[in-house]
Amino acid sequence: MSKLFSEKTKQVFLGPLSKNNPIAVQVLGICSALAVTAKLEPALVMGVSVTIILAFSNVIISLLRNTIPNRIRIIVHLVVVAALVTIVSEILKAFAYDVSVQLSVYIGLIITNCILLGRLEAFAMGNKPWESFIDGVGNGLGYAWILVVVAFFRELLGSGTLLGIKVIPQALYDAGYVNNGLMILPPMALILVACIIWVHRARNKELQEK
């Protein structure tokens, strides 16, 4: 174990979960993060898909890093990512059709998700496969937890359910409680992400912008 997880790889893995979070700090991959978070289930699937694609594209690019000519590297990145996304999308269509309908174009949009190109460009092009894999998993999870938190609040307050199961008791509705319809609408995703950033930066003062 000690060899697999040296001090550096640990840093590579833990960094993106907090201090170097792809969404809250690096501002990568916002588009899909906001669009799929109205319900918890698609958010979970999206988080897992991105983590898998990111980890494997990182490994592939890292293996090829010495043979890719610099001028056409973006196109090579895109082709590798597009191939992986196609595989994931076909798997989702086969085994989780309902979710893949809900995610609609956003699965395809993982190709142009800035997290992928950002990490490929910044990390995989200059590091060994194993570290790149860890970096991919770390960044994918850093992305996923924000998605899950946003989706948790939007589904709980917007529809009164979690993963489709009703959690707010009927008695509360009888007493006059109503679901907040605004939570389902796109703007609330932005406000919730802003709140996460707010809390995150209030706790890590060095991240605050001047």
Partner 1 sequence: MENIFSIFVKSIFVDNMVFAFFLGMCSYLAVSKNVKTSLGLGAAVVFVLGVTLPVNYLLENYVLKEGALAWLSPELASLDLSYLAFILFIAVIAAIVQLVEMVVEKFTPSLYASLGIFLPLIAVNCAIMGGSLFMQQRAFVNIGEATSYALGSGVGFLLAIVGLAAIREKMEYSDVPGPLKGLGITFITVALMAMAFMSFSGLKI
Residues that bind partner 1 (CB under 8 A): 24, 27-32, 34-35, 74-75, 78-79, 82-83, 85-86, 89-90, 104-105, 108-109, 111-114, 117, 185-191, 193-194, 197-202, 208-210
Give the nearer residue to partner 1 in terms of CB position, either 55 or 193. Answer: 193
Q: Least distance (Å) from partner 1 to the CB of residue 58?
A: 16
Nearest of 192, 121, 119 to residue 151 by alpha carbon: 192
Q: Least distance (Å) from partner 1 to the CB of residue 209?
A: 3
Give the nearer residue to partner 1 in terms of CB position, either 163 or 202. Answer: 202
- Count other C-beta atoms under 10 Å from residue 38's C-beta: 21
Nearest of 179, 182, 176 to residue 156 by alpha carbon: 179
**What does the angle CA 119 – CA 125 – CA 131 come to, to the nearest 5 degrees?**
70
What is the enclosing helix (H) or strand (E) of 67?
Answer: none
Nearest of 122, 101, 107, 124 to residue 48 by alpha carbon: 107
Question: Coil, helix or strand for 19?
Answer: coil
Give the nearer residue to partner 1 in terms of CB position, either 168 or 197. Answer: 197
What beta strand segments (E) does 114-160 contain? Answer: none
Give the nearer residue to partner 1 in terms of CB position, either 28 or 60. Answer: 28
Q: Least distance (Å) from partner 1 to the CB of residue 59?
A: 19
Give the nearer residue to partner 1 in terms of CB position, either 77 or 135. Answer: 77
Q: Least distance (Å) from partner 1 to the CB of residue 129?
A: 23
Cα 118 to Cα 143: distance, rounded to the nearest angstrom: 13
Q: Least distance (Å) from partner 1 to the CB of residue 73?
A: 11
